[in-house]
Amino acid sequence: MGEVIVITSGKGGVGKTTTTANLGTGLAVQGKKVVLIDTDIGLRNLDVVMGLENRIVYDLVDVIEGTCRLKQALIKDKRYEGLHLLPAPQTRDKNAVTPEQMLKLCDELKEEFDYILIDCPAGIEQGFKNAIAGADKAFVITTPEVSAVRDADRIIGLLEAHEIRKPRLIVNRVRADMVKRGDMMSIEDIIDILAIDLIGVVPDDENIIISTNRGEPAVIDGKSMAGQAYRNITNRLMGQDVPIMDLNVSEGLLSKMKKLLGFKTA
């Protein structure tokens, strides 16, 4: 029996789609059977981040309305065995799907897959309600900014109201240099305020943009800091105890030498 995890944030543009793509790919690389569902109807993006935009025939609403069978709509990623995408329609309205229908779909997918990751749209309206309807767990994404943390707090309240207990936090786009000089809230500051468990920290990393340009999630890039962060989160999700990454970018001589000698620090 698989597990349904919704990736949500409240505020837009904080990294939900990026996180869904990276965790999904990370899990598939580890041999899991995974489906990613894009629930951002009308503004789909998970397909391009995954580099699967040219392979879409059917979408989420086609499945729900019975225009096609579930199997027909699932795009198989040929690069990673076990990875599938169910894209969102681009030309439909959010009300084309109900929470009950999403719940039914998730229950069906759980029979066959290990992980179902749901990329939630921004906001707290219908799209959010659909995205969380079938979820067993939730990952809340925030960045170290006042507006994003505030929205995360609101989302945590709503998740709990919908009986999705103990959501876990991912802090994205952290800049160690700014934290160091006191111009960015630290992970401790954010956890202190939101009072939820942390599952990971992802640095602000230009490799995310480069990998999105190519349609290849950073998690497969051994040299990317963000990729390492997503590999760590993938392992934690699978139950391993991995220490939170030290994002310190201004390294001392010793760690530089270690790196030159091929020791991994991340």
Partner 1 sequence: MLDTILSFFKKKESSKDVAKERLKLVLIHDRSNVSPQFLEMVKGEIIKVIQNYMEIDEESLDIQLTKTNSEDGERMVPALVANIPIKGMKNAGR
Ligand X SMILES: Nc1ncnc2c1ncn2[C@@H]1O[C@H](COP(=O)(O)OP(=O)(O)OP(=O)(O)O)[C@@H](O)[C@H]1O
Which residue in the set 66, 111, 146, 261 belongs to the binding site for partner 1 (CB under 8 A)? 146
Distance CA 175, CA 20 (A): 21
Q: Which is nearer to ligand X, 14 or 185 (CB)?
A: 14
Distance CA 175, CA 221 (A): 20
- Pick what 47 binds: ligand X, partner 1, Mg ion, none; C-beta below 5 to 8 Å, kind-dependent: none
- Pick what 31 binds: Mg ion, ligand X, partner 1, none; C-beta below 5 to 8 Å, kind-dependent: none
- Pick what 182 binds: partner 1, Mg ion, ligand X, none; C-beta below 5 to 8 Å, kind-dependent: partner 1
Residues that bind ligand X (CB under 6 A): 9, 12-18, 40, 45, 122, 172-173, 202, 204-205, 208-209, 212, 226
- Pick what 69 binds: partner 1, ligand X, Mg ion, none; C-beta below 5 to 8 Å, kind-dependent: none
Q: Does 17 bind Mg ion (CB under 5 A)?
A: yes
Q: Which is nearer to ligand X, 17 or 25 (CB)?
A: 17
Both tokens of residue 128? 């959010």
Q: Closest distance between partner 1 and the C-beta of residue 173, in Å?
A: 15
Q: Closest distance between partner 1 and the C-beta of residue 251, in Å?
A: 22
CA distances to 2, 116, 166, 174, 262 from 36, in Å: 13, 6, 22, 25, 34
Q: Does 19 bind Mg ion (CB under 5 A)?
A: no
Distance CA 182, CA 187 (A): 12
Geometric angle at alpha carbon 69, from 66 and 72, rounded to 5°: 135
Q: Which is nearer to ligand X, 28 or 120 (CB)?
A: 120
CA distances to 32, 64, 78, 93, 238 from 61, in Å: 26, 5, 24, 10, 30
Span 154-183, contacts to partner 1 by CB under 8 A: 154, 157, 179, 181-183
8 A C-beta contact, residue 130 and residue 39: yes
Q: Which is nearer to Mg ion, 12 or 157 (CB)?
A: 12
Q: Does 149 bind partner 1 (CB under 8 A)?
A: yes
- Pick what 122 binds: partner 1, Mg ion, ligand X, none; C-beta below 5 to 8 Å, kind-dependent: ligand X
- Pick what 212 binds: partner 1, ligand X, Mg ion, none; C-beta below 5 to 8 Å, kind-dependent: ligand X
Distance CA 198, CA 244 (A): 9
Distance CA 16, CA 120 (A): 7
| HEC sequence for 3-18 | EEEEEECCCCCCCHHH
